[in-house]
Amino acid sequence: MPYWTDKVALITGGSRGLGLAIAQALARAGARVVITARDQQRLSAAAAAISTSGRKCGWLPADLTQQDQVEALFAQVVSLHQRLDLLVNCAGRSSRGEVAATSADQFRELIDVNFLSTVRCTRVALPHLLQSRGHVVHIGSLAAKIASRYLGAYPASKFPLAAYAQQLRLELGPKGLHVLLVCPGPLRREDAGSRYAEQAASLPPETRLPGGGVKLKGIEPGWLAQKILLACQKRQPEVVVPARARLLFALAQLWPKLGDWIVERMTSS
User: Angle of helix 17-28 relative to helix 40-50, nearest 10 degrees?
Assistant: 30
Cβ within 8 Å of residue 268, ≥6 positions away: 204, 206, 213
**One-letter amino acid identity for 264?**
E
**One-letter amino acid identity for 58?**
G
**Does 150 participate in catalysis according to the annotation?**
no
DSSP E strands, 1-99? 8-12, 32-36, 58-59, 86-89
Q: How far apart are CA 46 and CA 61, in angstroms?
A: 12
Quickly list DSSP for 124-190: HHHHHHHHHT-EEEEE--GGGTS--TTBTTHHHHHHHHHHHHHHHHHHHGGGT-EEEEEEE-PBP-T
User: Angle of helix 245-254 relative to helix 256-267, nearest 10 degrees?
Assistant: 140
Catalytic residue among 3, 150, 154, 164: 154
Q: How far apart are CA 26 and CA 214, in angstroms?
A: 30
43 touches 15 (CB < 8 A): yes
Q: How far apart are CA 62 and CA 153, in angstroms?
A: 24
Classify the C-alpha dihedral 53-56-57-61 as positive or negative.
Answer: positive
Catalytic positions, written as ranges: 154
